[in-house]
Structure 1
Amino acid sequence: MDLSTLKTVPGSRKARTRKARGFAGKGKTAGRGQKGQKAREGKKLRLSFEGGQMPLMRRMPKRGFNNFNHKEFAVVNLSELNKFDDDANVDVASLKEAGIIKKELSGVKILASGKLEKKLTIQAAKASKSAQKAVEELGGKIELTSKD
Protein backbone atom coordinates (compact mmCIF):
# COMPACT_ATOMS: atom_id res chain seq x y z
CA MET A 1 0.00 0.00 0.00
CA ASP A 2 1.27 3.45 -0.91
CA LEU A 3 -0.10 6.97 -1.35
CA SER A 4 -0.97 6.45 -5.02
CA THR A 5 -3.49 3.71 -4.18
CA LEU A 6 -5.43 5.61 -1.47
CA LYS A 7 -9.08 6.37 -2.23
CA THR A 8 -11.61 8.47 -0.34
CA VAL A 9 -14.47 6.84 1.50
CA PRO A 10 -17.63 6.83 -0.66
CA GLY A 11 -19.93 9.72 0.37
CA SER A 12 -17.21 11.70 2.15
CA ARG A 13 -16.75 14.16 -0.72
CA LYS A 14 -19.65 15.88 -2.39
CA ALA A 15 -19.45 17.87 -5.59
CA ARG A 16 -20.46 21.52 -5.25
CA THR A 17 -23.78 22.59 -6.77
CA ARG A 18 -23.20 24.10 -10.21
CA LYS A 19 -26.13 26.48 -10.49
CA ALA A 20 -27.60 27.69 -13.76
CA ARG A 21 -26.15 24.86 -15.86
CA GLY A 22 -29.01 23.26 -17.80
CA PHE A 23 -32.61 22.61 -16.74
CA ALA A 24 -32.34 19.85 -14.12
CA GLY A 25 -31.96 20.57 -10.40
CA LYS A 26 -30.76 24.14 -9.87
CA GLY A 27 -30.60 25.01 -13.56
CA LYS A 28 -32.30 27.81 -15.47
CA THR A 29 -33.34 30.19 -12.65
CA ALA A 30 -30.66 28.80 -10.29
CA GLY A 31 -33.00 28.45 -7.31
CA ARG A 32 -34.07 32.13 -7.37
CA GLY A 33 -37.63 31.62 -8.59
CA GLN A 34 -39.09 33.40 -11.61
CA LYS A 35 -38.89 37.19 -11.60
CA GLY A 36 -38.66 39.97 -9.07
CA GLN A 37 -36.07 41.94 -7.16
CA LYS A 38 -34.44 38.88 -5.59
CA ALA A 39 -34.11 37.14 -8.95
CA ARG A 40 -32.03 39.94 -10.46
CA GLU A 41 -28.29 40.00 -10.70
CA GLY A 42 -26.47 42.01 -8.02
CA LYS A 43 -29.31 41.73 -5.50
CA LYS A 44 -28.18 43.30 -2.27
CA LEU A 45 -30.96 43.72 0.27
CA ARG A 46 -30.44 44.40 3.94
CA LEU A 47 -31.60 41.72 6.36
CA SER A 48 -34.80 43.47 7.46
CA PHE A 49 -35.94 44.58 3.96
CA GLU A 50 -39.53 43.60 3.18
CA GLY A 51 -39.98 44.93 -0.33
CA GLY A 52 -41.13 48.44 0.59
CA GLN A 53 -43.58 47.23 3.26
CA MET A 54 -42.98 48.78 6.67
CA PRO A 55 -40.42 46.43 8.30
CA LEU A 56 -41.40 44.43 11.36
CA MET A 57 -38.90 46.22 13.61
CA ARG A 58 -40.50 49.58 12.74
CA ARG A 59 -44.07 48.27 13.07
CA MET A 60 -43.55 47.00 16.63
CA PRO A 61 -44.43 49.49 19.39
CA LYS A 62 -41.56 50.94 21.36
CA ARG A 63 -41.88 51.09 25.13
CA GLY A 64 -39.87 52.83 27.81
CA PHE A 65 -36.36 54.18 27.79
CA ASN A 66 -33.07 52.29 27.89
CA ASN A 67 -30.33 54.34 29.48
CA PHE A 68 -26.99 53.33 27.97
CA ASN A 69 -25.15 54.84 30.97
CA HIS A 70 -27.02 52.58 33.43
CA LYS A 71 -24.76 50.79 35.90
CA GLU A 72 -25.78 47.58 37.59
CA PHE A 73 -24.26 46.72 40.94
CA ALA A 74 -23.78 43.39 42.67
CA VAL A 75 -25.90 43.76 45.82
CA VAL A 76 -24.66 42.43 49.16
CA ASN A 77 -26.76 42.55 52.34
CA LEU A 78 -25.18 43.04 55.78
CA SER A 79 -26.50 39.67 56.99
CA GLU A 80 -24.41 37.91 54.30
CA LEU A 81 -21.20 39.47 55.65
CA ASN A 82 -21.43 37.46 58.89
CA LYS A 83 -19.52 34.69 57.06
CA PHE A 84 -16.30 36.65 57.54
CA ASP A 85 -14.15 36.70 60.71
CA ASP A 86 -13.85 39.71 63.01
CA ASP A 87 -11.50 42.49 61.76
CA ALA A 88 -11.47 40.98 58.24
CA ASN A 89 -10.93 43.07 55.12
CA VAL A 90 -13.86 42.47 52.75
CA ASP A 91 -13.34 43.33 49.09
CA VAL A 92 -14.63 42.09 45.72
CA ALA A 93 -12.16 39.19 45.55
CA SER A 94 -13.05 37.92 49.03
CA LEU A 95 -16.80 38.22 48.29
CA LYS A 96 -16.36 36.13 45.13
CA GLU A 97 -14.27 33.58 46.98
CA ALA A 98 -16.93 33.28 49.72
CA GLY A 99 -19.62 32.74 47.04
CA ILE A 100 -21.63 35.80 48.05
CA ILE A 101 -21.42 37.39 44.58
CA LYS A 102 -20.88 35.79 41.19
CA LYS A 103 -20.08 38.83 39.02
CA GLU A 104 -18.65 42.19 39.97
CA LEU A 105 -20.72 44.06 37.32
CA SER A 106 -20.13 47.83 37.86
CA GLY A 107 -19.07 47.26 41.46
CA VAL A 108 -20.50 46.08 44.78
CA LYS A 109 -23.23 47.89 46.72
CA ILE A 110 -23.75 47.19 50.43
CA LEU A 111 -27.33 47.33 51.69
CA ALA A 112 -28.55 47.34 55.30
CA SER A 113 -30.83 44.30 55.07
CA GLY A 114 -30.26 41.97 58.02
CA LYS A 115 -28.04 42.39 61.06
CA LEU A 116 -24.25 42.53 61.03
CA GLU A 117 -22.58 41.02 64.09
CA LYS A 118 -18.88 41.48 63.30
CA LYS A 119 -16.43 44.36 62.99
CA LEU A 120 -15.33 44.54 59.33
CA THR A 121 -13.46 46.81 56.96
CA ILE A 122 -15.44 46.76 53.73
CA GLN A 123 -14.29 48.06 50.35
CA ALA A 124 -17.22 48.64 47.98
CA ALA A 125 -18.30 50.96 45.16
CA LYS A 126 -21.45 52.07 46.98
CA ALA A 127 -23.24 51.63 50.29
CA SER A 128 -26.55 52.81 51.68
CA LYS A 129 -26.39 55.34 54.53
CA SER A 130 -28.11 52.93 56.91
CA ALA A 131 -25.55 50.22 56.01
CA GLN A 132 -22.66 52.63 56.70
CA LYS A 133 -24.22 53.58 60.03
CA ALA A 134 -24.70 49.91 61.03
CA VAL A 135 -21.08 49.02 60.19
CA GLU A 136 -19.67 52.05 62.02
CA GLU A 137 -21.74 51.29 65.13
CA LEU A 138 -19.84 47.99 65.43
CA GLY A 139 -16.49 49.76 65.02
CA GLY A 140 -15.92 48.79 61.39
CA LYS A 141 -15.76 51.04 58.35
CA ILE A 142 -16.83 51.12 54.71
CA GLU A 143 -14.34 52.49 52.18
CA LEU A 144 -16.10 53.66 49.03
CA THR A 145 -14.04 53.10 45.88
CA SER A 146 -16.44 54.78 43.40
CA LYS A 147 -17.00 58.52 43.12
CA ASP A 148 -20.72 58.30 42.19
Structure 2
Amino acid sequence: MTMQLHELKPTTARKVAKRIGRGGKRGKTSGRGMKGQKARAGNSMRPEMRDIIKKLPKLRGHGKNRAKTVNAERPIAMPVNIAALALAFPKGGEVSPKSLVGAGVIRSQRGKAPLVKILGNGEITQKITVTGCSVSASAREKIEKAGGTIV
Protein backbone atom coordinates (compact mmCIF):
# COMPACT_ATOMS: atom_id res chain seq x y z
CA MET A 1 0.00 0.00 0.00
CA THR A 2 1.44 3.39 -1.00
CA MET A 3 1.20 6.60 0.97
CA GLN A 4 -1.40 9.11 -0.20
CA LEU A 5 -1.01 12.88 -0.17
CA HIS A 6 -3.88 13.31 2.29
CA GLU A 7 -2.27 10.85 4.71
CA LEU A 8 0.91 12.91 5.32
CA LYS A 9 1.55 13.86 8.95
CA PRO A 10 4.09 16.31 10.42
CA THR A 11 7.18 14.58 11.80
CA THR A 12 7.22 16.79 14.91
CA ALA A 13 4.36 18.11 16.96
CA ARG A 14 3.42 21.72 16.27
CA LYS A 15 4.87 24.11 18.82
CA VAL A 16 2.35 26.65 19.98
CA ALA A 17 3.86 30.13 20.35
CA LYS A 18 3.69 31.72 23.77
CA ARG A 19 0.97 34.37 23.86
CA ILE A 20 2.71 37.11 25.80
CA GLY A 21 0.93 40.08 27.31
CA ARG A 22 -2.53 38.53 27.28
CA GLY A 23 -3.05 38.17 31.03
CA GLY A 24 -2.47 34.96 32.92
CA LYS A 25 1.15 34.11 33.63
CA ARG A 26 2.86 36.27 30.97
CA GLY A 27 1.37 39.67 31.72
CA LYS A 28 2.77 42.88 33.18
CA THR A 29 6.19 43.45 31.58
CA SER A 30 5.76 40.62 29.03
CA GLY A 31 9.41 39.59 29.07
CA ARG A 32 10.69 43.15 28.51
CA GLY A 33 12.20 43.62 31.94
CA MET A 34 11.60 46.81 33.87
CA LYS A 35 11.11 50.35 32.57
CA GLY A 36 13.29 52.10 30.02
CA GLN A 37 13.54 52.74 26.31
CA LYS A 38 13.75 49.03 25.47
CA ALA A 39 10.54 48.31 27.35
CA ARG A 40 8.51 50.70 25.20
CA ALA A 41 6.79 49.99 21.93
CA GLY A 42 8.59 50.86 18.71
CA ASN A 43 12.05 50.82 20.26
CA SER A 44 13.77 48.51 17.79
CA MET A 45 15.35 49.74 14.57
CA ARG A 46 14.87 47.71 11.44
CA PRO A 47 18.13 45.81 10.93
CA GLU A 48 18.66 46.82 7.29
CA MET A 49 18.14 50.50 8.13
CA ARG A 50 20.59 50.20 11.03
CA ASP A 51 23.26 48.81 8.71
CA ILE A 52 22.80 51.69 6.27
CA ILE A 53 22.99 54.26 9.07
CA LYS A 54 26.09 52.66 10.61
CA LYS A 55 27.91 52.79 7.26
CA LEU A 56 27.44 56.57 6.93
CA PRO A 57 30.28 58.72 8.30
CA LYS A 58 29.68 60.80 11.39
CA LEU A 59 29.23 64.52 10.86
CA ARG A 60 32.42 66.02 12.22
CA GLY A 61 34.16 69.35 11.95
CA HIS A 62 32.89 72.89 11.80
CA GLY A 63 30.64 72.66 8.76
CA LYS A 64 30.46 74.85 5.68
CA ASN A 65 29.51 78.01 7.56
CA ARG A 66 32.71 78.37 9.58
CA ALA A 67 34.33 81.78 9.35
CA LYS A 68 36.31 82.24 6.14
CA THR A 69 39.24 83.62 8.16
CA VAL A 70 40.08 80.14 9.44
CA ASN A 71 41.34 78.11 6.51
CA ALA A 72 42.48 74.55 7.16
CA GLU A 73 43.43 74.16 3.49
CA ARG A 74 46.13 76.85 3.71
CA PRO A 75 49.17 75.54 1.82
CA ILE A 76 52.11 74.68 4.06
CA ALA A 77 55.63 75.24 2.74
CA MET A 78 57.92 72.21 2.49
CA PRO A 79 61.08 72.76 4.56
CA VAL A 80 64.41 72.24 2.75
CA ASN A 81 67.71 72.70 4.56
CA ILE A 82 70.81 74.27 3.02
CA ALA A 83 72.68 70.99 3.54
CA ALA A 84 70.22 69.29 1.15
CA LEU A 85 70.79 72.05 -1.44
CA ALA A 86 74.57 71.58 -1.19
CA LEU A 87 74.16 67.85 -1.94
CA ALA A 88 71.56 68.28 -4.70
CA PHE A 89 73.36 71.11 -6.54
CA PRO A 90 77.13 70.39 -6.23
CA LYS A 91 78.01 72.82 -9.05
CA GLY A 92 75.58 75.52 -7.92
CA GLY A 93 72.87 76.84 -10.26
CA GLU A 94 69.28 77.96 -9.96
CA VAL A 95 67.17 76.63 -7.11
CA SER A 96 63.38 76.73 -7.58
CA PRO A 97 60.52 74.44 -6.49
CA LYS A 98 60.57 72.84 -9.97
CA SER A 99 64.33 72.20 -9.91
CA LEU A 100 64.06 70.76 -6.38
CA VAL A 101 61.41 68.29 -7.59
CA GLY A 102 63.63 67.43 -10.58
CA ALA A 103 66.64 66.85 -8.30
CA GLY A 104 64.54 64.57 -6.03
CA VAL A 105 64.89 66.78 -2.95
CA ILE A 106 61.10 67.14 -2.59
CA ARG A 107 58.09 65.40 -4.11
CA SER A 108 55.45 67.06 -6.24
CA GLN A 109 52.00 67.39 -4.70
CA ARG A 110 49.01 66.70 -6.95
CA GLY A 111 51.25 66.98 -10.00
CA LYS A 112 52.59 70.42 -9.04
CA ALA A 113 55.72 71.69 -7.32
CA PRO A 114 54.79 72.64 -3.74
CA LEU A 115 55.68 75.81 -1.82
CA VAL A 116 59.22 75.64 -0.45
CA LYS A 117 60.96 77.34 2.46
CA ILE A 118 64.73 77.10 2.65
CA LEU A 119 66.05 76.76 6.20
CA GLY A 120 69.58 77.42 7.45
CA ASN A 121 70.59 74.00 8.79
CA GLY A 122 73.97 72.99 7.33
CA GLU A 123 76.65 74.73 5.28
CA ILE A 124 76.89 75.71 1.61
CA THR A 125 79.88 76.80 -0.50
CA GLN A 126 78.25 76.75 -3.95
CA LYS A 127 76.98 79.88 -5.65
CA ILE A 128 73.21 79.37 -6.07
CA THR A 129 70.34 81.56 -7.22
CA VAL A 130 67.09 81.02 -5.30
CA THR A 131 63.81 81.83 -7.07
CA GLY A 132 60.22 81.19 -6.02
CA CYS A 133 61.11 80.01 -2.51
CA SER A 134 60.77 81.68 0.86
CA VAL A 135 64.05 81.79 2.78
CA SER A 136 64.76 82.02 6.51
CA ALA A 137 67.10 84.73 7.83
CA SER A 138 69.92 82.29 8.68
CA ALA A 139 69.65 80.61 5.26
CA ARG A 140 69.70 84.01 3.51
CA GLU A 141 72.87 84.94 5.38
CA LYS A 142 74.65 81.68 4.43
CA ILE A 143 73.58 81.83 0.75
CA GLU A 144 74.74 85.44 0.37
CA LYS A 145 78.02 84.65 2.19
CA ALA A 146 78.70 81.89 -0.38
CA GLY A 147 78.11 84.41 -3.19
CA GLY A 148 74.57 83.36 -4.07
CA THR A 149 71.51 85.53 -4.67
CA ILE A 150 67.85 85.36 -3.66
CA VAL A 151 65.30 86.64 -6.16
TM value normalised by structure 2: 0.49
TM value normalised by structure 1: 0.50
Computing the radius of gyration from Cα coordinates, the structure with the larger value is 2
